[in-house]
A and B are shown apart, each in its own frame.
Chain A
Amino acid sequence: MGTGTDLGRVRGLGAAKSGVDHWWHQRVTAVANLGLLLWFVITLVRLPALDYATVVAWLRQPVAAIPMLLLIVSVFYHFRLGVQVFIEDYLHNEGTKLLALLMLNFYALGGAAAAVFAVLKIALGA
Chain B
Amino acid sequence: MAIVVRPRAPASGRPLSPHLSIWKWQVHMAVSILHRATGNAMAFGAVVLFLWWLVAAATGPSAYAFFYSVATGWFGVLVGIGLTWTLYQHMMSGVRHLVMDTGSALEIHDSKVFATATYIVSLGATAVTWAVILLTKGI
Contacts and interface: CB of A to CB of B under 8 A. Distances in A.
Given A27-B101, A115-B54, A45 B133 contact: yes
Interface centre among B47, B51, B54, B133 (most CB of A within 10 A): B54
Nearest to B58: A118
Interface in A53-67: 55-56, 59
Interface residues of A, number: 29
Given A37-B91, A52-B57, A52-B61, A82 B68 contact: no
Interface in B27-68: 36, 39-40, 42-43, 47, 50-51, 54-55, 57-58, 61, 64-65, 68
B129 interface: yes
A83 B91 CA distance: 16
Given A52-B57, A52-B61, A118-B55, A79 B133 contact: no
Contacts of B42: 79
Interface in B59-88: 61, 64-65, 68, 84, 87
B98 A114 contact: no
B58 A121 contact: yes
Interface in B125-139: 129, 132-133, 137-139
B58 A86 contact: no
A1 B43 CA distance: 35
A106 interface: no
Contact of A83 (B43, B54, B61): B43
A122 B55 CA distance: 10
Contacts of B101: 27
Interface of B: 36, 39-40, 42-43, 47, 50-51, 54-55, 57-58, 61, 64-65, 68, 84, 87, 91, 94-95, 97-98, 101, 129, 132-133, 137-139
Interface of A: 27, 30-31, 33-34, 37, 41, 45, 49-52, 55-56, 59, 75-76, 79, 82-83, 86, 111, 114-115, 117-119, 121-122
Ranked 10 nearest A-B pairs via Cβ: A118-B58, A79-B43, A52-B64, A118-B54, A121-B58, A52-B61, A82-B39, A118-B55, A83-B43, A45-B132
